[in-house]
């Protein structure tokens, strides 16, 4: 165990760990090695001098009136010979460092120390990425196996599962992507970092990145409904006077929203104005179609009437526009043409 202090400092710097974490790990490992090599089942404590690297082992004994197990206990009378202040129930420590402990325990301790270092590294990675959940993260595709895309994040690896991949989006080793860090799981092995290209949070973070007014709180994102790879609806509102939230998000010549569309591989984005009044909010959400009227017929259910020639646009291809509007607003939306509404009247 020569030069242990220098070794710990080097390992800590190389692995980006704190020296104290390594000292604690090594001390725990040495307790295990001591018990294994010397057949000692007593409670023990190991100390490592932070300057010299000297190792000391102390066995612990409980002070009792009458000793029943001399491996674990010491009589009150014997304890008071060591220190008159000892009382029943106290713990007495005796140094019992074997003369050849360093030589005998080094090999046994090595494997445990390596394991503790790995655990500390995993814990460090877990904490770092756990703090970044729900944020954007950049990664380079390292490999693809059984449909799972593996991203190299630098210090760790992230998984893009098939269900989090955008249909039609191309993935190949060496390609760089922005992804949404959806979840970090602690496992018995390395932390599992799960990212997404389909999560609505990806759109939210891209707008926050592209639109300074959102970062500043002058424009608020109220709701997002997304069908990844196809279309997204995002509802925004102004938090200050004299600001156009839609125009702000679109940007000069559409450059802000176009940058996001490019990032999402051409996914269409409808930016609509949030309204507190449900009828107006639903009307806006059905954009780009025109709406004749909106009537609340039940709690969380609205009947929308549109011009006959706007019916297919309001519903959208395979019902997408209506489906996204309902998801965005939180209301069930029944859409009728003006002719259909007249027949019901």
Q: Domain check: are 217 and 253 in the same one?
A: yes
Domain endpoint, select from 230, 247, 274 = 274
Q: Domain check: are 175 and 204 in the same one?
A: no
Domain endpoint, select from 95, 110, 130 = 130
Cis peptide before 186 (omega within 30 of 0): no
Q: Domain check: are 225 and 257 in the same one?
A: yes
- Model confidence over 284-304: pLDDT tens digits? 999 999 999 999 988 899 999
Q: Domain check: are 30 and 60 in the same one?
A: yes
In 173-258, which ranges are E strands? 176-185, 192-196, 219-227, 231-238
pTM: 0.74
CATH number for 268: 3.30.300.20
* Closest listed residue to residue 178, CA positions, set 154, 159, 206, 155: 206
Per-residue model confidence (pLDDT) at position 149:
97
Q: Domain check: are 26 and 122 in the same one?
A: yes
Cβ neighbours, 10 Å, residue 169? 16
Can you list the pairs that 57-61 forms with residues at least 24 positions away whose Cβ atoms lie under 8 Å?
57/30, 57/31, 57/95, 57/96, 57/97, 57/98, 57/101, 58/93, 58/94, 58/95, 58/96, 59/93, 59/94, 59/96, 60/91, 60/92, 60/93, 61/91, 61/92, 61/93, 61/94
Q: Domain check: are 15 and 115 in the same one?
A: yes
Q: Domain check: are 233 and 123 in the same one?
A: no
Q: Is the pLDDT at 235 greater than 90, yes or no?
A: yes
Q: Domain check: are 124 and 203 in the same one?
A: no
Per-residue model confidence (pLDDT) at position 345:
66
**Neighbouring residues of 314: CB distance < 8 A, sequence distance ≥ 6:** 286, 289, 291, 304, 306, 321, 322, 335
Q: Domain check: are 37 and 82 in the same one?
A: yes
Q: Per mean pLDDT, which range of 20-34, 227-241, 314-328 is the poorest?
A: 20-34
Q: Domain check: are 314 and 250 in the same one?
A: no
Expressed as residue numbers, the domain containing 313 is 278-345
E strand or H helix at 148: strand 148-152
E strand or H helix at 198: none
- Model confidence over 168-223: pLDDT tens digits? 999 999 999 999 999 999 988 889 999 999 999 999 999 999 999 999 999 999 99
Q: How do beta strands 219-227 and 268-273 pair?
A: unpaired
- Model confidence over 83-115: pLDDT tens digits? 999 999 999 988 888 877 766 666 665 676 677
CATH number for 31: 3.30.1480.10
**Neighbouring residues of 247: CB distance < 8 A, sequence distance ≥ 6:** none
Cβ neighbours, 10 Å, residue 128? 15
Q: Domain check: are 258 and 229 in the same one?
A: yes
E strand or H helix at 274: none
Distance of CA 322 to the CA centre of its chain: 33
Domain endpoint, select from 147, 168, 196 = 196
Structurally, the chain folds into a number of domains equal to 4
Q: Is the pLDDT at 117 greater than 80, yes or no?
A: no
Q: Domain check: are 148 and 117 in the same one?
A: no
């Amino acid at each position: 165990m020569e030069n242990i202090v220098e070794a710990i400092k080097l390992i800590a710097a190389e692995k980006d760990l704190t020296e104290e974490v390594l000292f604690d790990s090594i001390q725990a490992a040495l307790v295990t090695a001591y018990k294994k090599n010397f057949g000692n089942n007593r409670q023990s404590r190991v100390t490592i001098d932070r300057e010299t690297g000297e190792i000391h082992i102390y066995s612990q004994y409980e002070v009792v009136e009458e000793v029943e197990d001399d491996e674990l206990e010491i009589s009150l009378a014997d304890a008071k010979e060591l220190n008159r202040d000892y009382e029943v129930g106290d713990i007495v420590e005796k140094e019992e460092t074997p003369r050849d402990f360093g030589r005998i325990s080094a090999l046994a301790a090595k494997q445990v120390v390596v394991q503790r270092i790995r655990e500390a590294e995993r814990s460090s990675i877990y904490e770092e990425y756990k703090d970044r959940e729900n944020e954007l993260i950049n990664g380079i595709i390292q490999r693809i196996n059984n449909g799972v895309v593996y991203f190299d994040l630098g210090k760790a690896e992230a998984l893009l599962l098939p269900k989090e991949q955008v249909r039609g989006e191309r993935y190949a080793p060496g390609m760089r992507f922005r992804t949404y860090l959806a979840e970090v799981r602690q496992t018995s092995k390395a932390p599992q970092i799960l990212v997404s290209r389909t999560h609505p949070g990806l759109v939210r973070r891209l707008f926050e990145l592209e639109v300074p007014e959102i970062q500043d709180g002058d424009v608020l994102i109220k709701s997002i409904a997304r069908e990844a790879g196809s279309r997204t609806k995002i509802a925004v509102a102004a938090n200050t006077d004299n600001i156009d939230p839609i125009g702000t998000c679109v940007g000069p010549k559409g450059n802000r929203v176009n940058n996001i569309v490019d990032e999402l591989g051409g996914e269409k984005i409808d930016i609509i104005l949030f309204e507190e009044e449900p009828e107006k909010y639903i009307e806006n959400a059905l954009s780009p179609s025109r709406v004749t009227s909106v009537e609340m017929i039940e709690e969380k259910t609205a009947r929308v009437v549109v011009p006959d020639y706007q019916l297919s646009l309001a519903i959208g291809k395979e019902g997408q526009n209506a489906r996204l509007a309902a998801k965005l607003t939180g209301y069930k939306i029944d859409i009728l043409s003006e002719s259909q509404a007249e027949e019901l009247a």
